Amino acid sequence: WRAASAALVGGSVAIFGGLRRAALALPRPAAVRSRPGRAWRWRNLLVSFAHSVLAGLWALFSLWHSPELLSDIQDGYSVSGHLLVCFSSGYFIHDSLDIIFNHQSRSSWEYLVHHAMAISAFVSLIITGRFLVAAMLLLLVEVSNIFLTVRMLLKMSNVPSPALYEANKYVNLVMYFAFRLAPQAYLTWYFLRYVDVQGQGAFLTANLLLLDAMILMYFSRLLRSDFFPSLRKGSAGRDVDGEKFLID
């Protein structure tokens, strides 16, 4: 089963590699074509969007279809959840390699840290078969990422309709609370109260707390950028191509 899981992760890496190549053939907005530095980022975001749609809806449907899993976060198991974790592990591996091989590590180091945390945690889940339900809850964040990625694509393309960006801005905020902050807060409470802080439990708890800090930092950036732009120090005249994804 572990060998089969490794094959599934490898297959997922190949799938996202194929999506990346397919993204090369898609038309790009004039604002992206005119600035070569945006070409890689645009393609990377399209692949990220595909993962968010697939993984987010997959996690949502799996938990809706089998709500009894939520009563056993530590030892609950479903084939769908296992496959989802393998699928997303492949995406995180692919995206890490994409960042490194395209020399974007310096501007995207936070993504590499996040992906390393996700990959190591997911590998431990695949090996032990425990905490898969926790991973499914965490992957609900991909529902939020759908709208976060749309936000970044709209900013990069300089979309001429401010109303579209404004509408997505508020939907994105609601989804951020519902599918990112709420599941993360619940899992943090659950791990601190019920999970033994030793072995795998200690490793996953440490990962979860570090992820809490990252999510709150990203949330503060999002609020400053979209709702309190006057609080963004030194934002005037900054080159968008030189900024990190989530600052954008």
pLDDT recorded at residue 157: 86
Is pLDDT larger for residue 161 or for residue 120?
120
Measured CA to CA in angstroms, residue 220 lies from 71, 114, 198, 239 at distances of: 32, 17, 32, 20
The domain spans of the chain are 1-23+36-225
pTM given for the model: 0.91
Longest Cα separation, the chain: 54
Is the pLDDT score of 43 beyond 90? Answer: yes
pLDDT recorded at residue 175: 97
The model's confidence at residue 240, banded by pLDDT at 50, 70 and 90, is very low
Is the pLDDT score of 244 beyond 70? Answer: no
pLDDT recorded at residue 233: 57
pLDDT recorded at residue 235: 44
pLDDT recorded at residue 160: 63
